[in-house]
Each structure stands twice: as structure tokens, then as C-alpha cells.
Structure 1
């Protein structure tokens, strides 16, 4: 009896190839395992119809394929299995012991990291506090600066107002000073000063003034003099103080003042030892007296010939040909003497 004829060899590889192609098209781990199992079952079904020699040959071809598929499946599913096992059996919230066992130095590393994080948090806190402090400081400075700017603006307005007021007061003071000066000048129009008169014991200044007037040809009595006295010596104590006389009538003062130059020609007198050293001048105010001396100094420097006073006013003139004389009323007028 002839044994049954085995199926053709070429069909088995075609089936294996077909199954292999099918398994390679699977995209998941389960599909790969199922494909491997299907391939093995088909090969086993084929082997049941063959003889022992053919079965051994088929088994030798199936084992590598099954081994490869099992290894691939286990390799692909191993991470998920390990993760699931750790999830089911360990509390990962406190994993210091496990990590210490896995890595001996990880505890020290974690301690260093924790200390570094604490230092960083502390520094960040200090930075935040410093920033908050500087922010408050900046806000305070901004408020103060704004206040100071407003105050400076108000002060500027106040200063401008005060400067305007000062300017107005200076103008008022100038006019008032001029009026006071003019009134003082007018109050001295009846006065004359006699300089170079020696001091004598128990002297009568009224009689001395009458004697000086007599030398220039003006006859007056003591009753024509309102008051007379020696002027204070002031700083120049070496000079003989002058005699100031206030006349009752201005016309007597004018007569004596107009003839004052005659004293230069008087050689002798029963009342005075050196009558030519006596000279008469108007009783000027302090301002006009200063202007008179400064005008005389400027006159000598600028070639002017004449400087005089009239009714308490100061005048200068360059020469006798000049018709208009220069009236010196204030310090600015001195610059006109050129």
C-alpha cells in the first residue's frame, strides 16, 4: 500500500510568505501576536497531513519565527507592563528609597537641588522685596519731585511778582528820594558855610558871620541871622569846622554868596588874622556835596574848567564859550563829563 502523497513543497513557503506579509502589515502589538499565532496554527495544520520527516522540517522553520514574534511582542509591551506594575504596587509620591536603591548618589543630588531651590527662592524673595522697596521709594521721590516742581513754579511766580514789586518800589523810592532831596535842598537855600575861620574862646558865630559879610561889602546885623553854629568835624578832625548860618532873608544870603570871591583880595582885618584863607560856600545836601567833589575830580581829568553850585545845585562847564552848562543831578550824570 502506497503512503499518501505529501502536498507540494512550494505551497508551504507561499503560505508562510503570505502570513508573514499579513503580520508585517499589523500596526499594534496585539495584531503582531495574533498574526504569529495564526501563522503557527496554519503551519501545524499543514504538518498534520505530512509525514514525520516533513513535520520535523516544518518545526525547524517555525521555531525561529515564533521566537522572533514572542521577543518582539515582549519587547514592545515590557515598558507598559513595568509602568503598570509600579503603579499597582508602589506609591510614587515618596520614591526616595527606590531612587536611592537605583542610584546611590541621587539622594545627595536631590538634597543639593532642594538646597539650590531654597536659595533661589530666598534670592527671589529678596529681589521682590528690594523691587517693592525701590518701587515705593521711586513713587515717593516722584511725589516729592512733583511737589517740588509745583513749589518751584509757585516760587517762580512769587519771585517774579516780588521783582515787579521791587521795581515799582525802587521807582517810588527814587521819586521820593528826589522829592526829599529837593525839599532838603530848598530848606538849605538860606544857608551859607564859612570855611577857614579859626576857633576862638567864647566865640559868637552870629557876629563872626556879620564880620565876614562886612569884609565883602554886605552890611547885616545879628538880627538878620536866624541861627548859626559850628558844623560837626566828622572824620576829618584835623580840619577846622565850618560855620553854618541860616539867614532870615534869602536876599542877604545871595548878596554875600555872589561877592564871596572878594575875600581873596582882603589882605588884613581887625577881626581875622588871615582873612584871605576864609571862603564861603553853599550849604549843600550830603548827596550834592558828594556830587560836587566828584564833578570837580572829573572836570580836572576831562579838561573842564568850571565847576560851581547855584541854589544847592551842581553845574560844570568846559569853557567860557560853551553856552549850556551841564547840570549834575545824580551819579549817572557824572558819566556825561567827557
Structure 2
């Protein structure tokens, strides 16, 4: 009987210690939750500062691409001469481009694999950097006037393909423009374009244009529940 009583006492003591530990943990948890609530404005402010700095950095990075043109769709071959290709492209557009006008030209990105239904890998884009921004603007303007461009009669190796000229965007802006075009197509907005690294949309002819700076603008213009929605 004495041993039984001692066992009960020990069990009670153990339970009391468990309760005390639970009370202590509960108290510590409440303190942590309170501290998080008190720190929330600081955390929110820090996040806002980081977002602002990222945005400023993206603007600076885009400015560095002000003289760049991205050419997509032209077949990629081992024996190709990128300088010859971009000069042929300029000629196709009715412009004269010489080696002295070119800072650099190269394929960018990793070599792409085969896509189902295609006979060869998709070509990587050519990035052309020009000496003057006005030369870049002339190329882009000529490309907008001459739609449905193709490599026919250009004397280039590889298959005859359609090709496109666009201003070069930073990675962040490319991602944002991709989402913008997706939302525009899904919601039947007729126009989405870039100008000087900035992204714009317009619902239809005669309607006001809207600048897209970030995903918050996408949500505001296209609707919170529409951006990223799946059909």
C-alpha cells in the first residue's frame, strides 16, 4: 500500500511538472506571437524596401540594354556567321548596317533540345548590340512596318523561316511581359507591347493604354482573380 501511495505521489508530481512545462511553453509561444505582431510593421517595411530596390535595379539593368535588338526565329547552324546574319536582316528591312555599327552579336541561352513534331531544335535568339540607340530604333521601326518577315532570298544557311525583331528585355521584364500577354489573350485584350523596356496594354482601338510595371499592375488592370487563372 505504501508503495502504491508513493507511485501515486510520483505520478502526480510528474503530471504537475508536465503541466508546468506546458504552461511555460504556452507563455513562451504567446510572447513569440506578440513579438511577431510588434515586428510586423518592421517586416512589412523591410519587404517594401527590398521590392523597391529590386525594381530600381531592374530599371538600371534595362537601361543597359537600350541599344540591343533580339532576333528570334532564324535557323541556327554551326557554320553561321552572326555578323553576316544581322547585316542580311538589316538589308531585308531596307537598311544599311556595317560592321562598324555593331558592338557585338551572338546567340544567347543554352542550346535547345528537340520539340515534339519539329525536325530540329528551336534556334536560340540572336542578340545584336549597336553603337547607337537610334540604329536600334530604326531596325525596330522597319520591322514593325514589314510584317511577316522571312529568311527567303537572304542567302542564309538553314531552312527558310519567319523571324522577328524585338527590343531586348531583362529577365524580370521578360517574365512580366509573358504574363501580360497571357492575360491579354485570355481576356481578349487586343494589344500588348513594349517600348523602351516598358510594358503596355490596350483593350482595343481607341481605348486608353495602361503601363504594366509589376504584377500588382496586372492584378489591378486585369482583375485579381484573372491573373494566373487557368481556363
Fold match (TM-score > 0.5): yes
User: Is the alpha carbon distance of 1:148 and 1:251 closer, same or farther for their aligned partners in structure 2, counting shifts above 3 Å?
Assistant: same
Q: What is the 5 A alignment of 1:192-207? A: 192-207=69-84
State the 1:215 CA deviation. Answer: 2.2
Q: 2: distance between equivalents of 1:250 and 1:276?
A: 27
Q: Please name the residue that 1:211 is paired with.
A: 88
Residue 326 (1) aligns with residue 210 (2)? yes
What's the secondary structure of 2:201's corresponding residue? strand
What value does the CA root-mean-square deviation take over the aligned residues? 2.9
Distance 1:167 1:289 in 2: 27
Instruction: Say if 2:108 and 2:127, in contact at 8 Å, map to a contact too.
Output: yes
Among residues 141, 146, 153, which one is paired with 2:30 in the alignment? 153
Count of residues in Structure 1 that have an aligned counterpart in Structure 2: 214
Q: What is the rounded CA distance, in whole Å, between the counterparts of 1:126 and 1:265 in structure 2?
A: 97
The alpha-carbon deviation at position 306 of structure 1 amounts to 1.4
- Determine whether 1:245 maps to 2:122: no
Contact 2:112 2:122 in 1 (8 A): no
State the 1:265 CA deviation.
6.7
Whole-Å separation in 1 of the counterparts to 2:29 and 2:148: 72
154-163 vs 181-190, which moves further: 154-163
Give the Cα separation in 2 of the matches to 1:239 and 1:295: 23
What is the match of residue 221 of structure 1?
A: 98
Classify 1:276/1:201 alpha carbon distance in 2 versus 1 (closer, same or farther; 3 Å). Answer: closer
Give CA deviations for 1:232-263 in whole Å, capped at 9, x if unaligned.
24656521112101112111111111111344
The one-character-per-residue Cα deviations of 1:112-135 (angstroms, maximum 9, x if unpaired) are xxxxxxxxxxx4x45643453344
Provide the residue aligned with 2:62 in structure 1: 185
Q: Deviations over 1:126-161 (max 9, x none)?
A: 564345334433442343234223322333244445
Task: Give the direction of change, closer, same or farther, for the CA distance of 1:179–1:235 in structure 2 (3 Å limit).
Answer: farther
Which runs of 5 or more residues in structure 2 are unaligned?
115-120, 224-231
Aligned equivalents of 1:271, 1:303: Cα separation in 2 = 39
Relative to its length, the structure with more helix (as a share) is 1
Q: Distance in 2 between matches of 1:292 and 1:330?
A: 10
Larger Cα Rg: Structure 1 or Structure 2? 1
Q: 1:160-197 CA deviation, whole Å, 9 max, x = no partner?
A: 45655543332122112111211221111211011222
Please give the alpha-carbon distance, in whole angstroms, between the structure 2 residues aligned to 1:228 and 1:157: 57
Contact 1:192 1:282 in 2 (8 A): yes
TM-score (norm 1): 0.55
The structure in which a higher percent of residues are strand is: 2
CA distance in 2, matches of 1:218, 1:311: 21
Q: Distance in 1 between matches of 2:112 and 2:80?
A: 23
Q: Which has the higher contact order (CA 8 A, sep 6+)?
A: 2
Aligned to 1:171: 48
1:1-35 superposed Cα distances (whole Å, 9 cap, x missing partner): xxxxxxxxxxxxxxxxxxxxxxxxxxxxxxxxxxx
Residue of structure 2 in register with 1:7 after alignment:
none
Partner of 1:245, secondary structure, is strand
- Confirm or deny that 1:258 pairs with 2:141: yes
